[in-house]
Chains A and B, each alone.
Chain A
């Protein structure tokens, strides 16, 4: 039976907003957990994505295979399964991770597989012709990187990365399934205590909106600029 579904609290319900006001500290601490979890996972994802993205385009076949296995396996399997694996699976081999650690590791590894693809696409988007032309024009390696490679790579990768950051923040909510006191978890707890579903979940929704909408707007603007340039 879902919490908050039972009804009939005797007497008039308290005015709209009291449940929220009384539990704000708990919800805000959940928000902090969500943000810190997301930040750590993002760092991990960027690191892994960079490494495996580059691996995917090295000339060495075994390294390429390793990169492909990582990317294809982790982005085609559900994050929930990976999270359960980190939290409920690893203890079987003696690694009993606390919820927060298991959550950010799973989230980072999962998101990293998407970052790797973005990195790969970014590197590949610099056509070989440009590099040859740059060298032919007498640009040094450093100049080539600075004026040719990096600006284009950044332009190609930043919008998709922005999207991945949004997805990462939303996916951080899965930590609530392994008892991490993030925004989603605390929201559920407060909801079941107070039955003020619309207030509490409304606040939780608002927090996620605040975390993701600005980034979404930014990415949308960047994508628009990029598509216009391409066309």
Chain B
């Protein structure tokens, strides 16, 4: 019991967090985390859109390439993608720094998931609506633009936000290749301060605050678009 007090609650284990310098140090880590996340989100949306379009192409070769990419990438661990990208990118001399390599790995991974979210979102619009629009004389583009996409995009939001939450958690894996993100900085702190429990807990709280807020926003959104909310998109990926 005394040991527990000493190790968990003792002031000297927490005193590091009274130092403003430590918070600045962590803040720098948080901005690296968010940088990687932001870069990956944006790039993976673009790549994911491309993949979704390829997948629905009439040409079997193009569709097939997209399918293989999506299924293979989704079957691999994110850590594997990060390591593989790290080793190959250094060899290829692309001039990417570690943050860039981590972002690239996460982009490649998330794009596959985005492609599926987009596909599921569009597919969730009942065929009846498409048929009705066409019989009203709307062209394919008009159907997509005024009927399908607005609804599909609204339905995709929960899945997209869920993916963002997963992405923010996955940025912690960049610590493993040496990126100075939030998780890595927690490690550095507890090496000199000997407070792994406290440091990891504080950092966990920061991740929690961000992700929980995002999930609350999703719930609000789901209620706002109301009615029968069908959560579209793959739930395979955590």
On A, residues with C-beta under 8 Å from B are 1-5, 7, 72-73, 75-82, 84-85, 88-94, 111, 114, 160, 163-164, 166-167, 170-174, 176-177, 184, 188, 191, 197, 201, 204-205, 208-209, 212-213, 216, 219, 231
Given A4-B87, A7-B91, A114-B238, 8 extra CB contacts under 8 A: A75-B238, A76-B212, A92-B194, A92-B195, A174-B79, A204-B80, A205-B80, A208-B75
Let me know if B74 and A216 touch, CB within 8 A: yes
CB interface residues, B 193-233, toward A, < 8 Å = 194-197, 200-201, 203-204, 207-208, 211-212, 215
Q: Which residues of A contact B83 (CB under 8 A)?
A: 2, 184, 188, 201
Q: Are A197 and B88 in contact (CB under 8 A)?
A: yes
Contact B176 A167 (CB under 8 A): no
Q: What's the Cα separation between A117 and B72 when bound, in Å?
A: 27
Decide yes or no whether B139 CB sits under 8 A from chain A.
Answer: no
User: Does B142 belong to the interface (CB within 8 Å)?
Assistant: no
> Nearest-CB distance from B138 to chain A (Å)?
23
For residue B193, give the distance in angstroms from its CB to the closest CB of chain A. 11
- Decide: B76 and A92 in contact? CB cutoff 8 A: no
A93 to B1, CA, bound (A): 10
Q: Which residues of B contact A173 (CB under 8 A)?
A: 77, 79-80
Could you list 19 A-B pairs, sorted by A, with CB under 8 Å?
A2-B177, A5-B87, A72-B208, A77-B169, A77-B204, A80-B175, A80-B176, A81-B207, A82-B204, A89-B196, A89-B197, A93-B197, A160-B235, A163-B235, A173-B79, A184-B77, A213-B71, A216-B71, A219-B236
Contact present for A77 and B211 (CB under 8 Å): yes
In the bound complex, CA of A82 to CA of B76 (Å) = 21
Report whether A212 and B75 are in contact in the complex, using a CB–CB cutoff of 8 Å. yes
* Chain B interface size, under 10 / 10 to 19 / 20 to 34 / 35 or more: 35 or more
Interface presence of B19 (CB below 8 A): no
Q: How many A-B residue pairs have CB under 8 A?
A: 146
**How far does the alpha carbon of A85 sit from the alpha carbon of B194 in the complex, in Å?**
13
Residues of A within 8 A of B215 (CB): 72, 76
Q: Is B172 an interface residue (CB 8 A)?
A: yes
List the B side residues contacting A209 at CB < 8 Å: 72, 75-76
Do the beta carbons of B183 and A81 come within 8 Å of each other? yes
A208 touches B80 (CB 8 A): yes
**Which of B8, B75, B126, B173 sits near A80, CB closer than 8 Å?**
B173
In the complex, which of the residues A1, A2, A75, A170 contacts B77, with contact meaning CB atoms closer than 8 Å? A170
Is B196's CB under 8 angstroms from A85's CB? yes
Q: B167 CB to closest chain A CB, in angstroms?
A: 11
Q: Chain B: residues with CB nearer than 8 A to chain A?
A: 3-4, 7-8, 71-72, 74-80, 83-84, 86-88, 90-91, 126, 165, 169-170, 172-173, 175-177, 183, 186-187, 190, 194-197, 200-201, 203-204, 207-208, 211-212, 215, 234-238
Q: Contacting A164 at CB < 8 Å: which of B72, B208, B238?
A: B238
- Find out whether the CB atom of B234 lies under 8 angstroms from the CB atom of A2: no
Q: How far is the CB of A86 from chain B (nearest CB, A)?
A: 10
| Chain A minimum-CB-distance residue to B194 | A92
B77 pairs with A208, CB closer than 8 A: yes
Assess whether A208 is in contact with B186, with CB atoms less than 8 Å apart. no
Give Cα distance in the complex from A2 to B177, angstroms: 8
Question: When chains A and B are docked, how far (Å) is the Cα of A81 from the Cα of B29?
Answer: 14
A76 to B80, alpha carbons, bound, how many Å? 22
The chain A residue with its CB closest to the CB of B127 is A231
